[in-house]
Structure 1
């Protein structure tokens, strides 16, 4: 998994970064709201670990902004705020889970795996084959087949299809898809590539959510 760790405490941040890396995860560690916004907007993360007390703002405000922008990345809040009101506020603003400090690293890792499983239906199992009815994508072999017949896609089309199949039943925003497959292109390019992708795989797989993005439904 690729995890964005947002924690301003140096000692705890180093410990969490080390624990995540020891568990085989890739970690981007930031300590400020401004840096967190940049990374989560520009990179594709499987999960976010979010402290609420940050030096340049509130973690709750950060989460509210990300959710308002359409970010669907799973967020596990890690905080010393333990009141019921704080927990409910965090969950209502978009947190997928809430863990009170101090906590056991093993519990943090387990909760992280759980929020990713709930979000993607797969978690960090290492699977490389993704299916949607008779459509199959093999991430490792870089192949796509429909009813057993090969489908030739460009690298950009493959990246778009991979994102949609990996996160089936989740609406992926235009920003998310552009960041994953078209980081240096403008908006209209996404529509062109999506049109080509739909033509190649056939109708009935990808649904447009007007004004938001696209979703592949099971």
Structure 2
């Protein structure tokens, strides 16, 4: 099963070690940067991109706020959660204005940190961009009307569930998205259907794209999950 990659940007060695251990024990694949410049280099050189960034505000060399701004300006779309010992409203507002998705005030409980990271990644899997359009692998998906434009020039209308399924794969391409992630994006964590439901919807979506003249871009990766290939 895919382990979400999380970048922790924290200059306090003891705190960083504790958070990294918590993330790893909770099933994440964590990486660490001790300052803003190192964080920017890691994000730029890592592919597929990190699934989330935990970003301390008070960093040496480049502040967490400035790192957040530069990441968003460079097109980084995954969730950014600010870590701050200063929970004053102006600090929170500045972080959110810079493009952060959430903030966590120190000190925090490990289970709260993990829950907030998971929630941020889950929201990212299901929320379209501001224009309501996602593109990739020769496909253009209008998430407002669930209309799909294929490179052949054909268009087709998806059901909302088909749309959310394809949207999840497109937003994370070319990363392999696990079965658990897809089921969570489609049905949530508490109302999952029978085990064959996901495969049935994938089959229908593949057939719809094929009948419209599209290529076989939805690939199965063994027990790991599914991905969208260009």
Same fold, TM-score > 0.5, yes or no: yes
- Structure 2: runs of 5 or more not aligned: 127-167, 169-176, 184-197, 220-225
Distance 1:52 1:92 in 2: 14
1:82 aligns with 2:67: no
Q: Structure 2-normalised TM-score? A: 0.58
CA distance in structure 1 between the partners assigned to 2:80 and 2:203 by the alignment: 29
Q: 1:126 Cα deviation (Å)?
A: 4.2
2:41 aligned to 38, 43, 47, which one? 38
Contact 2:52 2:79 in 1 (8 A): yes
Query: How much has 1:55 moved relative to structure 2?
Result: 1.5
1:20 aligns with 2:90: no
Provide the rounded CA distance (Å) in 2 between the counterparts of 1:91 and 1:26: 25
Q: Cα gap change, 1:56/1:133 in structure 2, threshold over 3 Å: closer, same or farther?
A: farther
Are 2:161 and 1:91 aligned? no
- Residue 34 of structure 1 and its aligned partner are, at CA, apart by 1.2
1:58 to 63, 69, 93: 63
Match of 2:110 among 102, 105, 109: 105
TM-score, normalising length: structure 1: 0.61
User: What is the aligned residue count?
Assistant: 154
Retained in 2: the 8 A contact 1:134–1:146?
no
Report the RMSD for the aligned CA atoms in angstroms.
Answer: 3.5
Residue-by-residue CA offset, 1:119-155 (whole Å, 9 max, x unaligned) = 1127983449797895349xxxxxxx746x99556x9
The answer on whether the counterparts of 1:7 and 1:51 sit within 8 Å (CA) in structure 2 is yes
Question: Structure 1 residue runs of 4+, over 6 Å off?
Answer: 128-133
Match of residue 67, structure 1, among 69, 72, 96: 72
